């Protein structure tokens, strides 16, 4: 696992927290009608941030990749649940 070596000026692990807040909102969303939109919004923010830091932060890249994998799993689970309904 990657080590965290830098923190934002507010003490957060991620200097640009927008993607992390959107990711967290998607992970905890309980309303299936809102889930797809939350996943899409988080994915866009994660990919955008990954492009911004392409060569600067290996630690954050690790967390971005992990978040994208988690969103894929969540999306697949939501799709299975929708089909079962």
Give the predicted TM-score (pTM) of the model: 0.64
User: In terms of pLDDT, which residue wins out, 8 or 74?
Assistant: 74
The length of the chain in residues reads: 85
Taking the C-alpha atoms of residue 51 and residue 30, their distance in angstroms, rounded to an integer, is 29
Task: For residue range 21-73, list pLDDT tens digits in order.
Answer: 999 999 999 999 999 999 999 999 999 988 888 777 778 888 889 999 999 99
Specify whether the CB–CB gap between 71 and 42 falls below 8 A. yes
Q: What local confidence, expressed as pLDDT, does residue 32 receive? A: 92
Q: Where are the alpha helices (DSSP H) in 1-85?
A: 18-28, 32-52, 58-84
């Amino acid at each position: 696992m990657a080590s965290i070596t830098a923190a934002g000026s507010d003490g957060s692990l991620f200097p640009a927290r927008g993607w992390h807040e959107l990711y967290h909102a998607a992970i905890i969303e309980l309303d299936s009608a809102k889930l797809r939109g939350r996943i899409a919004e988080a994915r866009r923010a994660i990919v955008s941030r990954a492009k911004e830091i392409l060569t600067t932060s290996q630690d954050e890249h690790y967390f971005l990749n992990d978040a994208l994998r988690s969103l894929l799993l969540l999306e697949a689970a939501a799709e299975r649940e929708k089909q079962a309904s």
